[in-house]
Amino acid sequence: KTGTAYVIEYRTSVGAPWQFLDTTTHVRFGFQWQVGDYIGIRVTARRGNVSSTPSVPSVLWEAGGDNVVMLQAA
């Protein structure tokens, strides 16, 4: 919806703290990561002073070089 910002966070291992990656108002977001390296991604929606709970993390641990992954907010 208009006026919603999506805060994207990542972590590099299961026990690592979440780190800020970016904020976007779009429902699509692209980034590059080293294939084969663990990365967890979660998204929080913010509108004004209200934030959602973070999404269930998506974990990528790809083994091939030609994989493309897209996360899209519904």
Mean pLDDT, the chain cut into blocks of 10 residues (74 residues total): 90 92 88 81 94 91 53 56
* Cα distance between residue 61 and residue 74, in whole Å: 24
Write down the pLDDT at residue 64. Answer: 46
User: CA torsion sign, 14 to 16 to 20 to 21?
Assistant: negative
Write down the pLDDT at residue 2. Answer: 81
Write down the pLDDT at residue 36. Answer: 76
